[in-house]
Amino acid sequence: MAAPDQPAFSQEGARRDADPPVPLLYRDAMMLVIDKPAGLPSHRGPQAKRRVIPVLTDHLDALRFGLPRRPEAAHRLDKDTSGCLVLGRHPRAMAQLNQLFRDGRIGKAYWAVVEGGPADEAGLIDLPLARRAPERGWWMKVAPDGLPSRTRYRVLGRGESPSGPLAWLELEPLTGRTHQLRVHGAASGWPLLGDEIYGSSPREGGPGLQLHARSIVIPLYPKREPVSVAAPPPAHMQASLALCGWRSCLTES
């Protein structure tokens, strides 16, 4: 297996070369891992077609790093979710990454700040999900006849805000349904802070969705340890995380 085309740099906030258009967390000959900013759509879908707004696909040519083809996203993050996003650098890499995602072999952990919080310190949410309306494929609900959907959670800290108690959670999606973490949180009685669809956040002037793809573990190379990458918490989450006991020094451990 070819060695990385430059040393891996999965330390949080690490950057190389001239500043890329989005923060780059890791690079080798097969893949990139970027820190997708919250608010950046992955592609120019229906919401972006009539507006001139940046989307991730606008930046992919600048992430070729000498290869003839631009990279492609191997999975998706919602527009308002920040953090680790894996890009395959060529068709062979995409085929291998897609298979790993299909097989559930990619380890993913998210950080979320939620309103209230679970009574237990850890647990499993097992609630099937289905579309709420056929014309809105992204709008989901808990439904007995829906697709199996499971999320493991762990409480990392608790705090108090002027509007009530908060909890800082680590969420591990064991399935990959649309809006799974957001719907599971709301259905469990602790909606994600800043969620204007499934929670109580206003459409305008809210704190921003408090959901961050914190880390990812990718067993891409059979004869090497899995690639493990972490993304630092975004600026719009740091105040609420701090209320729950997060300190910036913890991101270096």
Residue entry with tokens 């258009």: 21
Q: Catalytic annotation on 78?
A: yes
Q: Would you give the end-to-end CA distance of the chain in angstroms? A: 29
Alpha-carbon distance 66 to 244, whole Å? 43
In the set 78, 103, 120, 126, the catalytic residue is: 78
Identify the DSSP state of 199: S
Alpha-carbon distance 150 to 124, whole Å? 7
Hey, which bits of 18-149 come out as E strands?
24-27, 31-36, 72-73, 82-88, 107-115, 122-126, 129-133, 136-142
Alpha-carbon distance 39 to 54, whole Å? 9
Phi-psi region of 244 (alpha: psi -120 to 50; beta: other; left: phi over 0): alpha
Residues with Cβ within 8 Å of 239's Cβ and at least 6 positions away in sequence, in order, are none
Of 251, 246, 250, 169, give the one whose Cα is nearest residue 210: 169
Residues with Cβ within 8 Å of 201's Cβ and at least 6 positions away in sequence, in order, are 193, 194, 195, 207, 209
Q: 100 — phi, psi (to 5°)?
A: -60, -40
Active-site amino acid positions: 78
